[in-house]
């Protein structure tokens, strides 16, 4: 009985010693909410930590969830009592809306639960300009009526005017005020719909703070619809397959839907 009791005390004492000697990285926060300014190219999150244990901590790996995010440690080793941070840089690119990216950090902590930490970076990206649709197209031979692209400018961007330039003289574009504040209607029209043509429409807001931001949409006159082939050919099969898969897709010989 006494022997068992002494064994128990010994185990408890050893465990307490091991706990006291162990390393432990304590994070100030593992989740960061970012609100990048309009037109920002990057969002940077700082995840601060401190080694509150008694032994050094080594970073084994720091891995971001996507290629759009990079993460850097200041040192590979964190001494007891030392503070530092992992800097996660999210390259916004053309992304919009709420973006959640993670960085997984692995240390040499023997406790597997503490060895892996997932840091979360959340960024809400407000677009400067929302364009819809990003494509207007006409079937070959369709009446060359104008089609409208709606541009909604961010209310904080103070955009009063849009300049639209077509990469091809085959299309003309005109900008009018939309039905709501900060809204524009871009009216696009092909000169001719008897030949397949394509243009990129570059849209430049007049906002001086965002002069570098140029947006683009596409305008096309499609090539003539493929002529009817014998029923057994792959061309017909693929057309039928398209109809089956999507009720809203018009048959190739029908004029394009309103966009």
Contact residues for another protein (CB under 8 A)? 66-68, 91, 93-95, 131-135, 137, 198, 200, 214-218, 220, 222, 226, 234, 238-239, 241-252, 256, 259
Q: How far is the CB of 163 from another protein (least distance, A)?
A: 16
Q: What is the three-state SS of the chain?
A: CHHHHHHHHHHHHHHHHHHHHCCCEEECCCEEEECCCCCCCEEEEEEEEEECCCCCEEEEEEEECCCCEEEEECCCEECCCCEEEEEEEEECCCCCEEEEEEEEEEECCCCHHHHEEEEEEEEEECCCEEEECCEEEECCCCCCCCEEEEEEECHHHCCCCEEEEECCCCEEEEEEECCCCCEEEEEEEECCCCCCEEEEEEEEECCHHHCCCCEEEEEEECCCCCCCCCCCCHHHHHHHHHHHHCCCCCCCCCCCCCC
Nearer to another protein, 118 or 134 (CB): 134
Q: How far is the CB of 257 from another protein (least distance, A)?
A: 9
Nearer to another protein, 15 or 168 (CB): 168
Nearer to another protein, 110 or 133 (CB): 133
Nearer to another protein, 55 or 89 (CB): 89
Nearer to another protein, 36 or 56 (CB): 36
């Amino acid at each position: 009985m006494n022997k068992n009791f002494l064994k128990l005390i010994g185990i408890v004492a050893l465990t307490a010693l091991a706990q006291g000697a162990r390393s432990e990285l304590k994070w100030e926060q593992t989740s960061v909410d970012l609100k990048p300014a309009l037109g920002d190219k990057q969002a940077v999150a700082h995840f601060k930590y401190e080694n509150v244990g008694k032994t050094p901590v080594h970073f084994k790996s720091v891995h971001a969830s996507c290629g759009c995010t990079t993460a850097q440690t200041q040192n590979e080793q964190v001494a007891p009592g030392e503070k530092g941070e992992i800097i996660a840089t999210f390259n916004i690119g053309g992304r919009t809306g709420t973006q959640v990216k993670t960085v997984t950090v692995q240390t040499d902590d023997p406790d597997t639960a503490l060895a892996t930490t997932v840091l979360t970076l959340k960024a809400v990206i407000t677009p400067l300009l929302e364009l819809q649709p990003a494509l207007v197209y006409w079937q070959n031979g369709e009446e060359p009526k104008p089609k409208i692209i709606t541009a909604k400018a961010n209310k904080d961007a103070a955009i009063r005017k849009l300049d639209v330039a077509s990469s091809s003289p085959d299309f003309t574009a005109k900008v009018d005020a939309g039905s709501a504040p900060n809204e524009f209607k871009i009216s696009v029209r092909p000169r001719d719909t008897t030949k397949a043509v394509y243009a990129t429409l570059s849209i430049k807001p007049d906002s001086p703070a965002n002069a570098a931001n140029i947006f683009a949409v596409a305008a096309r006159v499609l090539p003539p619809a493929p002529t009817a082939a014998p029923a057994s050919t792959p061309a017909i099969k693929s057309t039928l397959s398209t109809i089956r898969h999507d009720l809203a897709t018009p048959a190739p010989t029908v004029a394009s839907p309103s966009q």
